[in-house]
Amino acid sequence: MKKIIIAIDGYSSCGKSTLAKGLAKALHLAYLDTGAMYRAVTLYLLNNNIDYNDLDAVAAALQQVSIHFERIHGQNHTFLNDVDVETEIRSMHVSEHVSPVSAISMVRKAMVQQQKAFGKRRNIVADGRDIGTVVFPDADLKIFLVADADVRTSRRHLELASKGIDAEWDDIYKNLTERDQIDSSRADSPLRKADDATVLDNTLLSEEEQLAITLEWVRLVRSEE
C-alpha cells in the first residue's frame, strides 16, 4: 500500500492529538506531535532562565536542545536532552509561554527542519498548527479541526486532571483563547487552514465518531490513488 502523510492542524485543545493517535493506531502510522517539540524548547528556556526576547540567548539555547520521542507502555513520551519531560511540558506554566516561544522564526526553522526529516519515510500522521501549510504541504490528507472554545476548555480540564495536573477552568479558557490569538496572528507561519484541507468540527462528536469520519476520508484518498 502507498505510504501516506496525514496532516492535522487546528486551534488549541481541539482534539488533534487524540485524533492523530487514533489514526496512527488504526493505520499503523508513526505519530509526530509537533506541539510537544515547541513545548520542550519552551521548557528548556524556562528551566534555564533564558529570556526568550533575547534572540542571541535563544540561538545558543537551540544548540543545546535535543528532542526525541519514545513509546513507553504504548504511550508517546517526549524526551528533552534524554530526560522524559512528557508530564512537565503539559503544565500550565509551559502552556503560558509556548505561544510566544513558537512565534520566534529561529525556533520554528529548527523545529520544522527536524519535522520534515521525520516525514521523509512518510507513513506518518502529524499534528500542529502549520503541518498542512508549511511542514508537509504535499500531505495526502489535510484535516483542519475546529471545536467550540467552552468544549475545548472542558476537555483540556479533564485531560489535565487525569494527569494529576490541577488547573482552574477559567485559567485554561484564557490560556486556550490567548494561544489561538497568538498562534493565528504571528508573522511566521500563522495557524491557518491550508486551501486543500477539510474542516472537521468535532464539538458534538465523540472520539469514535471523529475517528470513523476521518478513516473514511483516508479510504477515499487511498482509493483515488
Q: Is 98 in the site for ligand DC (CB under 6 A)?
A: yes
Which of 18, 76, 78, 102: binder of ligand DC (CB under 6 A)? 102
Closer CB to ligand DC, 154 or 222, in the complex = 154
Q: How far is the CB of 129 from ligand DC (least distance, A)?
A: 4
Q: How far is the CB of 219 from ligand DC (least distance, A)?
A: 26
Applying CB under 6 A, the span of 20-28, 35-43, 52-60, 79-87 interacting with ligand DC comes to 35-43
Cβ(101)–Cβ(107) below 8 Å: yes
Q: Is 10 in the site for ligand DC (CB under 6 A)?
A: no
Closer CB to ligand DC, 98 or 147, in the complex = 98
Q: Is 18 in the site for ligand DC (CB under 6 A)?
A: no
Closer CB to ligand DC, 29 or 186, in the complex = 186
Q: Is 35 in the site for ligand DC (CB under 6 A)?
A: yes
Question: Considering CB under 6 A, how many residues would be counted as binding ligand DC?
Answer: 14
DSSP string, 142-187: EEEEE--HHHHHHHHHHHHHHTT----HHHHHHHHHHHHHHHHH-S
DSSP string, 14-79: SSHHHHHHHHHHHHT-EEEEHHHHHHHHHHHHHHTT--TT-HHHHHHHHHH--EEEEEETTEEEEE
Strand partners, 195: none
Which of 15, 22, 119, 128: binder of ligand DC (CB under 6 A)? 128
Q: 125 is written with which cell numbers? A: 500522521
Amino acid in the structure at residue 46: L
